[in-house]
Chains A and B, each alone.
Chain A
Amino acid sequence: MWGILRQKVVAGGGSPLVRIRPAISALRSYSSASKEMTVRDALNSALDEEMSADPKVFLMGEEVGEYQGAYKITKGLLDKYGPERVLDTPITEAGFTGIGVGAAYYGLKPVVEFMTFNFSMQAIDHIINSAAKSNYMSAGQINVPIVFRGPNGAAAGVGAQHSHCYAAWYSSCPGLKVLAPYSSEDARGLLKAAIRDPDPVVFLENELLYGESFPVSAEVLDSSFCLPIGKAKIEREGKDVTITAFSKMVGLSLKAADILAKEGIRAEVINLRSIRPLDRATINASVRKTNRLVTVEEGFPQHGIGAEICTSVVEESFGYLDAPVERITGADVPMPYAANLERLAVPQVEDIVRAAKRACYRSVPMAAAA
């Protein structure tokens, strides 16, 4: 945790995307008096500020109002902005997502919350066909400034139908922007950019990250703060292997990097932040430096984010690769319920460490599983 804290302090002082300077100078240059903020508070404050800045922004979703949000992300917003701007909808994803898209066609800026992204499947026709494709189909006449947000991916023991990761699904569709924040800074900056963006944005949060605290600088707390869409962040610099991850897996990758550092392998951890558009430039530049790549994601392996990153690297930096690309993904099964099985179905720190070692030719590859 201290390692992460150190990196964040450095990042807070300058632009968030400048390469992190070596830790030695950090302790000299910056004080550590930065605030801590949970991801939940970061999202809540971002929504609050955007709603007060622009009266066209409104929220809709199940339980966002009186219940204060199913995961309390929208706490307090009903009291502040009233029921006309924070709408509790009936349980009709297709209907209210379509209503949000229709309102966005006409110039309002809806933020549609899905209780989890699994329920977005009931509304996926509107996300893809009405929202993503509209700017193209109407030759630029009608743009859709809508944000679809909610928790994505596995939680704890919620079973197969509540644990699906939709990053690969949405990021395969042109016309959508897909973001996956990790820290509070990511959450705040990316959500604000998403709300102000004139195109449909799918904002994939993670339920298990909501309660985690991260340090935030004063710059992040500013009400105009926003992060660019389509740019990844190098959370930790390294020289021996590149590890790409998004959302919760960034935390695991950083822990894995710590373990690897003790064995002399300096891993570079990239927080993708934006799945579509994917920051191929940063990934390729990193691979050209380290010559080895491990991609980490929580979703299913076939046609996943790792597959896309691997192909991108093979297309652009094949000559630089010293080892095959390693892909760490969730198991290729619907998520089981039993706690020990669930642990086996989701990537763990050990898996990332093993993969990184394999990429560095420090251990023998395991046989492929079932």
Chain B
Amino acid sequence: MSSSTFSSMNTIKSSCFTTENHSLNPSSIIPTSSFLVSTHKLRFNTPTANSPPCFIKNRQTHIVAVSDVKQKQLKSTPSVGNLLITKEEGLELYEDMILGRTFEDMCAQMYYRGKMFGFVHLYNGQEAVSTGFIKLLKQQDCVVSTYRDHVHALSKGVPAREVMSELFGKTTGCVRGQGGSMHMFSKEHNLIGGFAFIGEGIPIATGTAFTSKYNREVLKQADCDHVTLAFFGDGTCNNGQFFECLNMAALWKLPIVFVVENNLWAIGMSHERATSDPEIWKKGPAFGMPGVHVDGMDVLKVREVAKEAVARARRGDGPTLIECETYRFRGHSLADPDELRDPSEKAHYAARDPITALKKYMIENKLAGEAELKAIEKKIDELVEEAVEFADASPHPDRSQLLQNVFADPKGFGIGPDGRYRCEDPKFTQGTAHV
């Protein structure tokens, strides 16, 4: 049954961007088995945007439902051009998702061969979320992630060889081997970690969004419209910091998009068992921002929702909370035997593999041929192999690297570069010294 929503990708079935509280519409629910979390029932197939009068009278919403827009577009261009993506975009999305999948599979292999160690959390199955969101961003936009950050790094543009070296602990890694799997940072690509504590990245992301707004309003950089995406999971949505930041982001109208990758499981704790109200998107309107639920196994749906949310943030209209229903095919980490999840649940989501889905869409809609896609897969295979070779051949960090980079300025500001105290320099106290 679920495949019906899956194949008709050119109508948006996600719930719409309103701030009112919806009540469940039972009329179009797909019958579910009990193991699927109630989020599955939340798919709203009704495209109407303006639901019953909202109880929150003071909230102004300028947001139009995505589904409304799409309906209008579909009506106005009835013939060719109903497709959500062009060929180039499609190939880009496909390549990115294949890169994510191949890379993660290679990580598993390398881990079991002992080349990678510690905590490694793989992203298989969730590629649609990373690709769907991050491929819409500019270089200066910021992505804040969690420990499951390899694919976010790859989508944001960090070269695969640097990520692989980092995982091997070599000095050519993106953070010279000092961070590891869970702490990927790249200033050049504006990838801010890599945080091991869940919920830790959310206030950081809110801070970078705050900087964007501050740059525009206080430092008067008029063209600064950088957006921040914060990725986190379902378990994080019970954490205090999440709510604190929803409040402050909505209060100060920060250009941030909160993306919940709801893969229904923490390590062995299912989302239903941990959460009083498992519908995470509902927590957005409680703080005055739109809450959206989208099928996270479908890259095109994610992309449509993401476009709207990112545009909203760039305009200055404030934050959005987007819950992506997705699934991780592997365990929580490579040390997790993954015994608690029902095999039929895994099979259900494996059937909705985002890569197979996109491939099917592109072939059915004549955007690309089988051969082209195979060529991309081959190219990525070679890229990942080359990344492993590069990482293998790279040197381990030098002993002297141990004590480096603790501080940006170890002497502290009061001591100048020549070793003398700045306050003793007469030019400094006159305010004429160049610092």
Given the interface pairs A189-B414, A197-B412, A199-B408, the reply to whether A90 lies near B244 with Cβ below 8 Å is yes
Query: Which chain A residues in 135-159 approach chain B with CB under 8 Å?
Result: 135-143, 145
B178 at the interface (CB under 8 A from A): yes
CA distance in complex: A77, B151 (Å): 44
Excluding A141-B186, A225-B423, A228-B413, 8 further A-B contacts by CB distance (< 8 Å) are: A58-B214, A95-B241, A102-B207, A129-B196, A136-B405, A138-B187, A228-B422, A229-B414
Q: Are B183 and A142 in contact (CB under 8 A)?
A: no
Given the interface pairs A55-B218, A98-B241, A138-B185, the reply to whether A104 lies near B407 with Cβ below 8 Å is no
Interface centre among A98, A103, A129, A223 (most CB of B within 10 A): A98
One of A105-113, A294-302, A326-334 contacting the partner: A105-113
Given the interface pairs A99-B248, A105-B208, A129-B197, the reply to whether A15 lies near B219 with Cβ below 8 Å is no
The closest CB in chain B to the CB of A84 belongs to B218
Given the interface pairs A95-B245, A99-B210, A228-B422, the reply to whether A130 lies near B175 with Cβ below 8 Å is no
Given the interface pairs A101-B204, A103-B214, A141-B175, the reply to whether A135 lies near B244 with Cβ below 8 Å is no
15 interchain pairs, CB-CB under 8 A: A98-B200, A100-B207, A102-B144, A106-B212, A129-B200, A130-B195, A135-B405, A139-B405, A140-B408, A197-B413, A199-B409, A199-B412, A228-B413, A229-B415, A230-B411
Partner of B414, one of A56, A145, A231: A231
The closest CB in chain A to the CB of B202 belongs to A98
Partner of A143, one of B194, B408, B411, B435: B408
The 3 closest A-B pairs by CB, nearest first: A102-B207, A98-B203, A229-B412
Partner of B407, one of A92, A135, A137: A135
Partner of A198, one of B142, B203, B251, B408: B408
B424 at the interface (CB under 8 A from A): yes
Query: Which chain B residues in 198-257 approach chain A with CB under 8 Å?
Result: 200, 202-212, 214, 217-219, 240-241, 244-245, 247-248, 251
Cβ contacts under 8 Å, A140 to chain B? 404-405, 408
B185 CB to nearest A CB, Å: 4
B26 at the interface (CB under 8 A from A): no
Cβ contacts under 8 Å, B430 to chain A? 222, 224
Q: Are A17 and B207 in contact (CB under 8 A)?
A: no
A-B contact count (CB 8 A): 207
The closest CB in chain A to the CB of B214 belongs to A108
Query: Which chain B residues in 42-62 approach chain A with CB under 8 Å?
Result: none
Residues of B within 8 A of A (CB): 142, 144, 175-179, 183, 185-187, 192-197, 200, 202-212, 214, 217-219, 240-241, 244-245, 247-248, 251, 404-409, 411-415, 421-424, 428-431, 433, 435
Cβ contacts under 8 Å, A351 to chain B? none
A97 at the interface (CB under 8 A from B): yes
A94 at the interface (CB under 8 A from B): yes
Interface centre among A97, A108, A222, A225 (most CB of B within 10 A): A108
Q: Are A125 and B415 in contact (CB under 8 A)?
A: no
Cβ contacts under 8 Å, B414 to chain A? 189, 193, 226-231
Per-residue CB contact flags for chain A residues 216-241 toward chain B (1 = under 8 Å, else 0) read 00010011111111110000000000
Q: Are A99 and B203 in contact (CB under 8 A)?
A: yes
Q: Are A102 and B211 in contact (CB under 8 A)?
A: yes
Given the interface pairs A98-B207, A142-B187, A230-B411, the reply to whether A224 lies near B405 with Cβ below 8 Å is no
Q: Are B203 and A95 in contact (CB under 8 A)?
A: yes
A137 CB to nearest B CB, Å: 5
Cβ contacts under 8 Å, B195 to chain A? 129-130
Interface centre among A85, A138, A228 (most CB of B within 10 A): A138
A164 at the interface (CB under 8 A from B): no
Cβ contacts under 8 Å, B179 to chain A? 137-139
CA distance in complex: A225, B144 (Å): 38
Cβ contacts under 8 Å, A107 to chain B? 211
B41 CB to nearest A CB, Å: 32
Given the interface pairs A99-B203, A102-B208, A223-B431, the reply to whether A142 lies near B192 with Cβ below 8 Å is yes
CA distance in complex: A90, B249 (Å): 12
A289 at the interface (CB under 8 A from B): no
Cβ contacts under 8 Å, B178 to chain A? 136-139
A89 at the interface (CB under 8 A from B): yes
Q: Are B205 and A102 in contact (CB under 8 A)?
A: yes
Cβ contacts under 8 Å, B207 to chain A? 98-106
A171 CB to nearest B CB, Å: 14
Partner of B406, one of A135, A196, A226, A229: A135
The closest CB in chain A to the CB of B412 belongs to A229
